[in-house]
Each structure stands twice: as C-alpha cells, then as structure tokens.
Chain A
C-alpha cells in the first residue's frame, strides 16, 4: 500500500467484480486501495478473494460476499454488512448491473458529481437538462445514521430515462451510505408515483484512479436491455469527460480551493461528512 488508508475507507465493503464476469481460469484480477487482489471461482460459483501483497495464505485471504449482482470484499474489518437497498426488491422492476468503466480521478469526485444537479443542462444537455431551465431549487440535506440523505430535489429533464418520451419534472432523492457509493431515487417516467433506483458503486483502485460499477432497478416495459445500456453509458461517459478534467484529481476537503454556492449543498454536506469521518484516501486538503 502506497499510503496509509484511513479506517473509514479501509473498513468498508467494495464491489470488485460483477457476479457473472470472469476471466481465464475463472480468475479476475483487480486493485483495491492500491493493493492487487485476485478473485477465484470454484465449481460451485463460490468466490474466494486474496490480496497479492501478502505471502502467508492466512493473511492474504479476504472476505467475499455477493450482493446486487456484484462481488464484494474488504481489506479492513467492516462494522456491518453491505448497505441495504430494500426498494430494489419491489415487484415489476428490471435489474441491471453494468460492468466497470475506469475513470482516472478520485472515486470521491465521481460520487460528488453524481450528487450534483446543476451540471445537467451543460454536461447532459438535451437529456437530463437543458438551457434555460438551469435553476436548482432549494433542497434538503440530512444526516441519518451516519448516511447523507439529499431530499426534495427537482429538475426539468428533456429525457429523464430511456423510456421518457417528453420532458418531465423529475424528483430526486440521493442517499450516500458509504464514502464510495451513492444511490439515486428518481421519478419513473412510466409511473410518476414510483421511483427508479440507480446506484453508483465505486472501486477506488488508487487514490486517483477508480472503477465505477452501476446498478439500476427500473420500470421500463418498452426498451430492450441494450437500449437501456446505451442510454446509461451515454450519460455516464459524458460525466467521465468532466471527471478526468477536474484539477486536482483528489477531492479538496478543506473548503478553501473550490468556491461553493447554495446549489452545491449536497457536495458541501458530502465533503463535510467525509471530513467528520476522518476520511483522507482520495482527498486532499485545500
């Protein structure tokens, strides 16, 4: 490990692979917090995970869990299990797990961008936002059980989801249960009283490189899986261009080097929460 990882970061569960993806010999190699790790499937589909920086077999064995279509592990001692997403169990939803896209920036920058409404008309112009409807109305930010909740967000979106046929007013709720995970509940164009659930699960490979897994539980009875994939990837890769061009790559937590306004309340709350929990991995002062 190139840097001492703070306990808050170390003791989390991280998605390191999709359940069904596998490489040659049923192994998958990746990196977690600067450590090389290897996932190995046995005949029954059980996944064992080892870290490759330790030689003694008992020291190199890592915990392994399957959840939300992903394989999870931890380099530390997680205090609890993987966070719950009970909404996804609702009947009629279609579940998606999209394999990782690598982004050369801190995973924290990716989560912060996910919590941001103000960029929609510019970065996702014509899809998630459009000039001149750029105003971000006031929303609520709360801390509940050491999670961040962002509520009462709303935004006009020309094409809120693959299934949206016209612009609609969309309500958003964000939840941050983990420094590298954010869950979004947004108005479903098909059933305006229901929410689609989209989650970003970030694997910090290094402080300034991450793999981003996305899961979704949607109501959509029209589009094919591939059409929905294309819709999501288009949006996601528009964000990647931004993320790779933010300077510095590490997220500043000091509140001095980046100017914030009220529309950034979610970002400010997220940064403060990271700081209060003693996080330093992928972050910088300033």
Chain B
C-alpha cells in the first residue's frame, strides 16, 4: 500500500493516523506540496487530476479524497467492524460527518494555509466559518454526551471522528482557539488517548 503524502497536510495525517489505528504497514511517497507545488504539475495530476493530497494506492485500487480513503480502509481492513459499522443508521450518520469534515471543517485548513504558508485566502472569513462549524460540533458533542455518547457518530470511535479530528486539532495554527468548545476539547483528548495514536507537527502529544 502506498500513500502520497505531505507531512504538514491534515488530510494526509488523517490517513496516517487511521492506518496506525488499524496497525497497517504502508509506504509513503513524499510530495513537495509546499513550496514546490508538486501536486499542481503533470506527473502528479496524472495520479490525481484534482491536484490534491492524499492519494492511496492499494494494488489495483487508486483513491483520492481523505474521506473516501477512510471508508475504503475501514471496509477492507477493519476486522472489528467498529470504525465503520454496517448498519443503515450508523452509515448515514458517518456519511453526514464525513461530509462535514470535507466541507465546513476545511475552513480551518484555509485559515492555516493563509497564516502559515501565505496562501492568498480570506483568513478572517475562514476563521469565522470555522468557528461556526466548531460550534455545531461542540453543541452536538454536548447533546450526545448527556446520554453518555462520547464519539461523534456513536458509542465507539468511528471514521467520522478520524475525519473531523485533524483540522479541528490543527486550527490553532490558523488562529482559531478551542477555548469556547469544551466538549470538543474533551473529545480531542479522547482521540489522543486511543491506542496507537500518532501525532504530527501542530498536534503535539506527550505524557
């Protein structure tokens, strides 16, 4: 299995983290996303015409989009079945939060790209939108928490948690603090306490 990877990308980390949770060996192909913009040149565009990371290649299967890769990995390799339970309610809920991770939460990534790598993006708007998304997630975690549910889409951690985690945790790189979201903070800590958790620059973890 081969992961086209960039060390500072939260979406690539999403896959590295999940592969670690599943205890799967893989090789990485490091891509010069910044400053080289290698993902915008023909060699990489052949791998993913959208010019985005990550891309996973597993034998004959080639997938782009972090959320799609999570579904594939969980479906194929998670023998416990807990990361992506095969029942309609769980699948529907997980799809809903995967989509949230790929859209609303990505505002946090935009603020980070602006603040860290000088991308020409509207950072104030991205921060406001990220705060709005974090409120929704915090409210959700508060409400499900009343009945003892500690994870986004059920009583077990799922790929919805993995998908939402990186750009929530990394948001401070883009000037978005977590102070107003205590339920999110507790949830971040729970994810960091899972067996085989790994970190990345910006998501520091020591015990």
Contact = CB atoms under 8 A, between A and B. Distances in A.
A235 B30 CA distance: 16
Given A99-B35, A240-B201, A241-B201, A234 B118 contact: no
Interface string A219-237: 0000011110110011111
Interface in B20-62: 30-32, 34-36, 38
Residue among B6, B116, B117, B200 with the highest chain A CB neighbour number at 10 A: B116
The CB with the most chain B CB atoms within 10 A, among A18, A227, A233, is that of A233
A238 B204 contact: yes
A102 B115 contact: yes
Contacts of B118: 100, 102, 211
B124 to A, nearest CB: 14
Given A18-B35, A211-B118, A230 B201 contact: no
Nearest to A242: B204
A237 B202 contact: yes
Interface string B183-207: 0000000000000000011101010
A233 B32 CA distance: 11
A40 interface: no
Nearest to B28: A230
A1 B116 CA distance: 24
A125 interface: yes
B173 interface: yes
Interface in B73-115: 115
B1 interface: no
Given A227-B30, A234-B7, A234-B201, A240 B38 contact: no
A122 B30 contact: no
Contact of B8 (A18, A226, A237): A237
B201 A233 contact: yes
A265 B25 CA distance: 44
A130 to B, nearest CB: 11
Q: Say what secondary structure dominates the interface of chain A.
A: helix
Contacts of B200: 234
A102 B116 contact: yes
Interface residues of B, number: 22
A21 interface: yes
Contacts of A241: 172-173, 201-202, 204
B175 interface: yes
Contacts of B117: 101-102
Nearest to B29: A226
Contacts of A240: 116, 173, 201-202
Nearest to A122: B206
A200 B100 CA distance: 39
A104 interface: yes
A230 B116 contact: no
Nearest to A125: B206
Given A233-B201, A237-B201, A237-B202, A104 B30 contact: no
A98 interface: yes
A236 B118 CA distance: 16
Contact of A101 (B6, B31, B116, B206): B116
Contacts of B175: 104
B98 to A, nearest CB: 26
Nearest to B205: A125
A40 to B, nearest CB: 18
A123 B30 CA distance: 23
A282 to B, nearest CB: 18
Interface string A95-107: 0001111101000
A84 B200 CA distance: 35
A225 B32 contact: yes
B8 to A, nearest CB: 6
8 tightest A-B CB contacts, nearest first: A237-B201, A99-B35, A230-B7, A226-B30, A238-B201, A230-B30, A226-B32, A234-B7
Interface of A: 18, 21, 98-102, 104, 122-123, 125, 211, 224-227, 229-230, 233-238, 240-241, 244
